[in-house]
Structure 1
């Protein structure tokens, strides 16, 4: 069952009861308890408290509180710092957090080399997801046409990133994910919370939301964290080779992504993109049609 953000804090606790105690528990036979439950007031309270903590303490809270926890990463600096911090957490509970990497088929060679270095260094399980039905850039072009990122960038984001992420979440039964987003990256990330819940009920945690690029870089240097060689060439945020450029002095960290376009997110963290809204509209229409058909069947049976 997917994680859920409930609009109200009452009601859910009255649905499930343990036959002996009158309360729900982890061993109850009923299966209708949500895996992760936040009311809006609870979510606001947690953000207020976690805001005061260091990233390592936020990560400790995550591994003790959130089932189905994974880390989504494109192997940017912040994600690598998170991975290194997880590997060094002490205490009785060990951080066994797998990585999810979306291989768009258009990553830089340096990014693929970094993936191998991360595997060797940390031994972390990495789940790699590619666009559905293709294995190479040539196959992607044959299926979707030349330079889809130019002819229809929102469709490109969907087939190369959004759909593979949804498939990963479904197949791996993901309930919560650690992301590498920070407020100092600029754009729509300027008012980022530590914890968010998306429309699908996935809990997203941004453990380094408060950190600056300088803090991230200092941690990388102090802990000898492996990083993308492109960062030595003026890049600060690395995505696909066709839409990533070095960053000029004084520019936002992510200004090298989609240069010249009014765009700062690829769709994974932007549910309000036109293509996402189109898909949501289709899904709502499908649900309405199923409901109508069900009501018709009930009417006939009656």
Structure 2
């Protein structure tokens, strides 16, 4: 069952001075009579939170998340970090942890080994609900190619990312009422993730939490083994980060963990974490418009009441 959508979290700087005067830095949507986001941050307070969360173990970061953030979900492609996060959530001794559901974007181009892992994870964690979203109007790779052309990832890479990742992800957030997500990103993965914070708010107002940002690949694999967590068998064949079959290769000794993704290209992130993508920018603008309309409505209501 989907959750009812709540207002989008925003930075305080985006809100009218008349409203920000009600609260300082961080507050809940119940702090005033005016309709406001359930959680919003000032940039300074976001920096303060990151300073504090930086000192905590991932389990404590997750505990803070599930007791603080509204409409929290885990987004996962069932990589090692996501699997560790899922296991940690299952072992938190607080009832809120049970309500954190997972979202898996089936791009229709995953390895068969990845899809097999999804079923093994379901068996391991039967209480965790996993929502699966696919590209619109396609149920498999053949249907997708018939509709959009063969090897779209080569002929129009950004459109491919939008169709198989960005749009299904945005649709899942909209339908499920997602306001905060747990991701599997870590600094040790290299590339643009080297200075990754624990918590961030993107331009659409989505709160992203990277609970294992501080962990190394060695720490993650050790946790997987010690806790008997199912993992992708491709890791035993030299892969460290697994995405679509056409853009994932094994990595060599000494290479970054994600060196096998889009090998030979300057690209290091898909549309989900690439805010400069034209499709990502389009979605951001749509969310900003929705936010402006909601704010105008709130201000009009406040004026009438005054």
- Residue 41 (structure 1) aligned to one of 40, 44, 52: 44
1:26–1:217 CA distance, 2 compared to 1 (3 A): same
- Correspondence 1:162 to 2:166: yes
Aligned to 2:118: 115
CA positional deviation for 1:199: 1.1
Cα distance between partner residues in 2 of 1:153 and 1:235: 23
Offset from partner CA, 1:111-151 (integer Å, 9 cap, x none): 11110011111111010110112111111111111100011
Question: Do the aligned partners of 2:11 and 2:43 also contact (CA within 8 Å) in 1?
Answer: yes
- Residue 13 (structure 2) aligned to one of 7, 31, 37: 7
Cα distance between partner residues in 2 of 1:15 and 1:139: 52
Aligned to 1:272: 276
Cα distance between partner residues in 2 of 1:172 and 1:59: 20
Cα distance between partner residues in 2 of 1:275 and 1:33: 28
Gaps of 5+ in 1: 17-22, 291-302
CA radius of gyration, larger in? 1
Cα distance between partner residues in 2 of 1:24 and 1:87: 26
CA positional deviation for 1:94: 3.7
CA positional deviation for 1:33: 1.8
Matches within 5 A, 1:239-258: 239-258=243-262
1:127–1:24 CA distance, 2 compared to 1 (3 A): closer
Matches within 5 A, 1:1-302: 1-7=7-13, 11-14=18-21, 26=30, 30=33, 32-91=35-94, 93-123=96-126, 124-277=128-281, 279=282
Offset from partner CA, 1:225-260 (integer Å, 9 cap, x none): 110010010000000001100011000000000111
Cα distance between partner residues in 1 of 2:190 and 2:175: 32
TM-score (normalised: structure 1): 0.86
CA RMSD of aligned residues (A): 2.5
Specify the SS of the correspondent of 1:177. Answer: strand
1:42–1:151 CA distance, 2 compared to 1 (3 A): same
Specify the SS of the correspondent of 1:200. Answer: coil
1:250–1:131 CA distance, 2 compared to 1 (3 A): same
Aligned to 1:294: none
